[in-house]
Amino acid sequence: MALVHKLLNGIYILRKCQKPSFASHLFLDTRFADYCSSSLQKPMVAPNKASPQRKTEEGLQGHHQGEVALDITSPDEKPEVSFDKAIQDEIKDHLRRLKDDFVNRWIGPEGRPLHEVLLEQAKVVWQFRGKEDLDRWIVTSDKTIGGRSDVFLKMGKNNRSALLYGNLSTEAPQDGESGRSGYCAMISRIPRGPFERKRSYDWSQFNTLYLRVRGDGRPWMVNIREDTDIIQRKNQMYSYFMFTRGGPYWQEVKIPFSKFFFSNQGRIRDAQFKLLLDKISSIGFTLADKVDGPFFLEIDFIGVYTDPAHTEEFAYENSPDLNPKLFK
């Protein structure tokens, strides 16, 4: 009976001495806390001599302390639960995952992921490292109209470049119709897809043509054609000049697309139009400087480049009289 009485007395003291909240500490006397702490202390027992009675009391005391901790939990200490915030977080997570699926799986030009295409600043479109690279090009000269110029294309030294060489002749053909002659050209083949469907190059994120060449000092004409057969004939193209300096050293040539001018059948038109960079079908190099004799042009690669310093959109002016469609 004495043991039961002592246990009940301990439980009563525990319930009376619950842990006060933070606000109550300002009004309670420190002696009240000392009384509670002293009333819960038990007689000291020598080590290695713990009695079964003490073990029972400690077990009951721990059990009731757990109950007391549950009873005194204040609303301020409970975690805040907001269903609106949980729904917003869930929606944000799903939108993020949806964006990752689109960005990582959305196919860009040439079958590459779009995020890789958008981040690149320069891209090599043509390079010459084997015969299969030469097969993407064709060469032509004034022999198609009866002229005497010769042009050839082969791999350069160590199969690290393409060598375009030949002999230019301005002798007019003896057909009674042509009065001029003397040109040689190298033109890229139009890319083809399934069922020989024509494809085009998309250079809309770049603003400059980038080449690494080595020549003999002759000027060349760089020609770009658009894939717009419905509104454009095959003799229409955009052109600009490339001047080689000769010598044994390579030179890097950068030509902004805004500099390319519109021509038709070899003549510069008065009305100029911007080059549609997302509809490029082919590029070519033409030699027609009216100088008879041998020539050569060695090409390492042909690519496109984004020059942050170039902000010009179009280099040529138009007037309503020349191009009324642009001023409607």
Averaged pLDDT for residues 66-85: 58
Residue 47 covered by a domain: no
Indicate if 12 and 132 belong to the same structural domain: no
Closest CA to 208 of 302, 129, 290: 302
Indicate if 300 and 161 belong to the same structural domain: yes
Residue 77 covered by a domain: no
Residue 260 covered by a domain: yes
Both tokens assigned to 184 = 């040689």
What is the Cα–Cα distance from 128 to 300, expressed in whole angstroms? 6
**pLDDT value of residue 317:** 85
Amino acid letter, residue 276: L
CA dihedral sign of residues 288, 291, 293, 295: negative
Indicate if 137 and 283 belong to the same structural domain: yes
Q: Look at 47-51, 250-254, 282-286 and tell me which has the smallest mean pLDDT.
A: 47-51
Indicate if 122 and 62 belong to the same structural domain: no
Q: What angle do CA 165, 170, 175 make, to 5 degrees?
A: 120
Indicate if 58 and 151 belong to the same structural domain: no
Residue 286 covered by a domain: yes
Residue 13 covered by a domain: yes
pLDDT confidence bin for 174, thresholds 50/70/90: confident
What is the Cα–Cα distance from 176 to 279, expressed in whole angstroms? 39
**pLDDT value of residue 16:** 46
User: How many folded domains does the chain comprise?
Assistant: 2
Indicate if 174 and 266 belong to the same structural domain: yes
pLDDT confidence bin for 231, thresholds 50/70/90: low
Closest CA to 241 of 275, 184, 289, 305: 289
302: CB partners within 8 A, 6+ apart? 124, 125, 126, 127, 209, 210, 211, 283
Indicate if 312 and 249 belong to the same structural domain: yes
**Contact at 8 Å (CB) between 156 and 124?**
no
Indicate if 134 and 25 belong to the same structural domain: no
Is 112 a residue whose pLDDT tops 80?
A: no
Residue 100 covered by a domain: no
Distances (CA, A) of 114 to 106, 130, 205, 279, 280: 6, 29, 12, 18, 19
Indicate if 6 and 131 belong to the same structural domain: no
Amino acid letter, residue 304: V
What is the Cα–Cα distance from 92 to 320, expressed in whole angstroms? 52
Indicate if 131 and 209 belong to the same structural domain: yes
Indicate if 262 and 192 belong to the same structural domain: yes
pLDDT in tens, 258-284: 999 999 877 888 889 899 999 999 999
Indicate if 172 and 259 belong to the same structural domain: yes
Owning domain of residue 60: 2-42+54-66
pLDDT in tens, 292-308: 999 999 999 999 999 99
What is the Cα–Cα distance from 91 to 89, expressed in whole angstroms? 5
What CATH code is carried by the domain that includes residue 127?
2.60.120.430
Amino acid letter, residue 101: D
Averaged pLDDT for residues 234-241: 87
What is the Cα–Cα distance from 132 to 126, expressed in whole angstroms? 11
Residue 152 covered by a domain: yes
Residue 83 covered by a domain: no
Residues 25, 26, 30, 34, Cα dihedral to 10°: -10
Closest CA to 160 of 186, 117, 127: 127
Query: Which position has the higher pLDDT, 202 or 37?
Result: 202
What percentage of the chain exceeds 70 in pLDDT? 66
φ, ψ of residue 289 to 5 degrees: the values are -90, 10
Both tokens assigned to 158 = 């160590």
